[in-house]
Structure 1
């Protein structure tokens, strides 16, 4: 039965991941509710249902549009797989507990952020505002260890990024600051600090690797959103363990 539910959440994640791609691409351009069906961004070919099967259509079409043969961005199947894996993993960790809803909402938000930040270098306010009431409600129903931790987490997440933006004179964006404030509600004050540390650690290591491999140019800006995703998920699922390990090992 466990395997059945894991498979179910994986498939549901694939479907939602495909939708999150659409949301991430259309919200910054204010086209989310347009009636036009999905289409190829290169030749405007309207996609048929069999061209929209998550991951599988990309594999079958060898990553190219059937009409114009132009390459399809690898972001599409990666976000679909990311969402599917994290939906299934969320169920594996929480089962049918209320916290599962929070976890699925968090994964959904981060999946959309991956798309908007990689495509537009932008974290839209409308996305953050949409998820805000849901996270607040979930933390009321499933509180953290201290009831005030989500509120302090939001202040800490916002404040730390605000200080960095001021000191670095725009080294990070306002979208990152608002995102960390929202994540602070989910994670609490301790885990949001850990999430920030891990995000910068992941960002430094991966950026150095990309520069060494000449995947990106030295002075070309690198989106920080995907690193926030990695840091936040690590902190969300393993924050308590990592903090306890650090305190018992080094203090």
Structure 2
């Protein structure tokens, strides 16, 4: 039965991942409800149902549009796979507990952020505002220890990024600041600090490699959203164990 639910959540995750691709591409351009059907961004061909099967359609079509034969961005299937894997892992970690809903919503937010930041270098306010009420309710129903941790986490996330923005003269964006405030509400004060640490660590390593291999030019802005996403995932799923290991090892 465990395997059945893992497969189930993986499939559901890929379906939602396909939808989050659409949300991430349309919300910044305010086109979310202007067209009910998905279409090829190159030739505007309306996609049929069999062209919209998560991951499978991309593989069958060899990563190309059936109509214009232009390449489809690899971001689409990667986002679908990532969402599926994280949905399944969430069930594996939490089972049918309330924290599972928190995990699925957090993953949903993060996946949309990946799409918007990679596509537009933007973290839309309306996306954050949509998720905030759900996280508030969930943290009331499933509180962290101590109870004030989400409040402190939100404040720390906001203030920490605000200071960095001021000191670096805009080295990070206001969207990152607001996102960390929301993440602090979910992760608590310890978790948001850990998420920030891993975000900057991943960003430094990957950014350094990209510049070292001349994939991107020096001083050219790199979307920081994906690094925040993976830093947050690390902190959310493994943060407690890391903190316990650190305390028992060094104190």
Q: Is the TM-score greater than 0.5?
A: yes
Q: CA RMSD in A?
A: 0.9
Corresponding residue for residue 12 of structure 1: 12
Corresponding residue for residue 186 of structure 2: 186
Q: How much does 1:244 deviate?
A: 1.6
Q: d(CA) in 1 for partners of 2:209 and 2:222?
A: 12
Name structure 2 gaps, 5 residues minimum: none
Structure 1 window deviating more from structure 2 (43-52 vs 112-121): it is 43-52
Corresponding residue for residue 84 of structure 1: 84
Query: Can you list the C-alpha shifts for 1:14-52, whole angstroms capped at 9, x where unaligned?
Result: 100000000000000001112341111111111111111
Q: d(CA) in 2 for partners of 1:110 and 1:199?
A: 13
Corresponding residue for residue 220 of structure 2: 220
Q: d(CA) in 2 for partners of 1:29 and 1:35?
A: 12
Q: How much does 1:199 deviate?
A: 0.3
Structure 1 window deviating more from structure 2 (136-145 vs 240-249): it is 240-249
Q: How much does 1:66 deviate?
A: 1.0
Q: How much does 1:213 deviate?
A: 2.6
**In the alignment, structure 1 residue 209 sits paired with structure 2 residue 209:** yes
TM-score w.r.t. the length of structure 2 is 0.98
Name structure 1 gaps, 5 residues minimum: none
Q: d(CA) in 2 for partners of 1:148 and 1:218?
A: 41
Corresponding residue for residue 119 of structure 1: 119
Corresponding residue for residue 148 of structure 2: 148
Query: Can you list the C-alpha shifts for 1:77-132, whole angstroms capped at 9, x where unaligned?
Result: 01100100000000000000010000000000000000000000000000000000
Runs of 4+ in structure 1 off by over 3 angstroms are none
Number of equivalent positions:
251
Q: d(CA) in 1 for partners of 2:49 and 2:18?
A: 12
TM-score w.r.t. the length of structure 1 is 0.98
Query: Can you list the C-alpha shifts for 1:162-216, whole angstroms capped at 9, x where unaligned?
Result: 0000111100000000000000010000110010011000100111122223222
Question: SS state of the match for residue 27, structure 1?
Answer: helix
Corresponding residue for residue 157 of structure 1: 157
Q: d(CA) in 2 for partners of 1:64 and 1:87?
A: 27
Q: d(CA) in 1 for partners of 2:132 and 2:211?
A: 36
Question: SS state of the match for residue 41, structure 2?
Answer: coil
Corresponding residue for residue 29 of structure 2: 29
